[in-house]
Amino acid sequence: MQQPPADDEFVDRPSPRAPFPTHAGLDDVDPWIPAPPRHPLRAIWPWGLSQLSETLEVVALAILMFLAVRAVGQNFIVDGESMDPTFENNQLLIVNRLAYASFDLSWLPGVDNEAWRPFGEPEVGDVIVFAFPGDLDRDFIKRIIAREGQTVSIDNGTVFVDGVPLDEPYIEQARAGPFVGEPWDGDFPEQTVPEGMLFVLGDNRHNSFDSRQWGMLPEDLVIGRADVRYWPFDQISLVEHHHQDAAVTAELTATQ
């Protein structure tokens, strides 16, 4: 008589692996059972946390690069004809924000310099962009004519700095408006530029709202120096800052 199997003979044992694909396990899948609900975040970002972290890193790097570029340069659009013919209306410029950047080194032992400027200081002839003192939300573009400690005056249209006439080849006769063909022949009484101030004028003296009307410009309102034209494309170039030649500079220095 055949004996009944022992209890341990009912224990499931793994079957030998078939040498060909099988459908084992499909019996446990019921196609009529709905899939479990997805996490709400999956509807917004279906690629998983690893891809999310990588994307955040790229975004953070892009923001840092943008801030770094903005710290060095700033776009500026010329609005108006006050700098004609040097700049035309609607020209696009890049302003160098580091040109006059200053750093306070007084915290270093033995250093008394509170305004170290490694890239230079504002010079007569530089074209600068600044916040208008009368409305800080407006940016103007003008040319530096005199710096702190210098005297400035205008006699019959000729600008004098410390008693020496400036060489201004960028000044042309008016090309538009009621003054066509006429140079500006106005006057301005002699004044001394106070400490921390600049005297600025537009190249188009007939049509410029500048230090002749609203006074001296505080240096701390200067945004930077206009260095590059980049629009229109056919006018891409570096901006020429007309500084006085060595002879005139020496004469100006000697009169101070």
Distance CA 213, CA 164 (A): 22
DSSP-assigned beta bridge partners for residue 103 = 116
Tokens at 9, concatenated: 């003979």
| CB neighbour burial string for 204-239, b if at least 16 within 10 angstroms, e if fewer | bbbbbebbbeeebbebeebbbbbbebeeeeeeeeeb
Specify whether the CB–CB gap between 202 and 142 falls below 8 A: yes
Distance CA 241, CA 256 (A): 23
Residues 6+ apart with CB under 8 A from 179: 206
CA 172 remoteness from chain centre: 30
The helix or strand, by DSSP H or E, that contains position 252, with its residue range, turns out to be helix 246-255
Distance CA 57, CA 65 (A): 12
Catalytic residues, which ones?
Answer: 82, 142
3 state SS for 112-147: CCCCECCCCCCCCCCEEEEEECCEEEEEEEEEEEEE
